[in-house]
Amino acid sequence: MTPEQQKAWERFVGREVIIDTSSHFLFIGTLREVDSAFVTLGLSDVHDRSESSSSKEKYTMDTKKYGLKADRKSVSIRIENIICVSPMEDVIEY
């Protein structure tokens, strides 16, 4: 990971984030650590979109509205599988 990439990730450390991946999994939790291969979330919700009728947008908005329903104490996600990351406070409810 380049210093610029590390700096970009550091602004999310300690914040509740939504991580969308190239798989059918959506991750919501507090970003704890970033290294060259993995992003680690603390208390987190690992949501399998293939097992839900709810869209990822609706699921994310519901999580913001009702709070995190954690199903993991921590989870590590391969950086190469991450499509995007957003802080929870940036989710716009409609």
- CATH assignment at residue 38: 2.30.30.100
The reply to whether 90 falls in a domain is no
Q: What is the pLDDT of residues 28-37, one digit of tens each?
A: 999 999 998 9
Helices marked H in the chain: 3-10, 56-66
Residues of the chain with pLDDT below 70 are none
Give CA–CA dist 20/8, Å, rounded. 16
Q: Are 23 and 75 in contact (CB under 8 A)?
A: no
The reply to whether 30 falls in a domain is yes
Residue 76: per-residue pLDDT: 97
Tell me the residue range of the domain where 42 lies.
Answer: 3-85
Residue 92: per-residue pLDDT: 86
Residue 58: per-residue pLDDT: 85
Residue 3: per-residue pLDDT: 86
Residue 83: per-residue pLDDT: 95
Model confidence, pTM: 0.90
Total number of domains constituting the chain: 1
Query: What contacts 24+ positions apart, CB below 8 Å, involve 76-79?
Result: 76/38, 76/39, 76/40, 76/41, 77/19, 77/21, 77/27, 77/38, 77/39, 77/40, 77/41, 78/37, 78/38, 79/1, 79/34, 79/36, 79/37, 79/38, 79/39
